[in-house]
Amino acid sequence: MFKKVFSKNDLFNGEIISYEFSERPVFAQVVNMLKKSFRKIKNTENIILHSDQGWQYQMKAYQHLLKEKGMIQSMSRKGNCLDNAIIENFFGTLKSEMFYTRKFKTIEELKKEIKKYINYYNHDRIRLNIKGKSPVQYRNLSFNNIV
C-alpha cells in the first residue's frame, strides 16, 4: 500500500523543492528527500525548515543534517498545524485536482502521475497570489528582480 509522499516546499513561491515516495514510513525516505533539497538549494544557511512534530523530525540524525547545513528547524507546537499549513494545502490541492479525479491500477501508475502533477504544479499551474505565475516562473522573475 502506498503510504506517504514527503515533500518540502518553498514558502516564497510554493514550489515543491523535493519529494520522496515510500510504501511505509522509514527514516531513509526523509533523509533522501532532504538530500535532494540540498542539491537543489545550494545556500542553505539560515533557511527555516518548518515541520510538524512527527517522529522523523525529532530524530537526532535529522536535526544533525539540518545543523550541518546551517538550517533552522521550526517545529510546530502540539495541536498547532500552522507551520505545516502550506504543505498540507498542497496535499489537499493534489488530491482534489489529481487523485480524486481518477482511479489508479498500480502504485507505480500513481507514483508516475504524482511526479507529472508536481511538474505541472511547479512549472505550469498559475497562482493568483504570485501574480498569475507558476512557482518556477515567479522564482525566475524574482531572480531577475522583475517581481
CATH number of domain containing 68: 3.30.420.10
Residue 11: per-residue pLDDT = 78
Residue 135: per-residue pLDDT = 93
pTM for this model (two decimals): 0.83
Count of structural domains within the chain: 1
- Strand blocks (E) in the chain: 4-9, 16-22, 48-51, 72-75
Domain that holds residue 105: 4-143
Mutual orientation of helices 27-40 and 60-68 as an angle, nearest 10°?
Answer: 10
Instruction: Give the residue ranges of the chain where pLDDT is below 50.
Output: 1-4
Residue 1: per-residue pLDDT = 36
Residue 3: per-residue pLDDT = 41
Query: Interior CA angle at 100 toward 98 and 106, to 5°?
Result: 80
- Mention every residue, 6+ apart, whose C-beta is less than 8 A from residue 50: 11, 74, 75, 76, 83, 84, 86
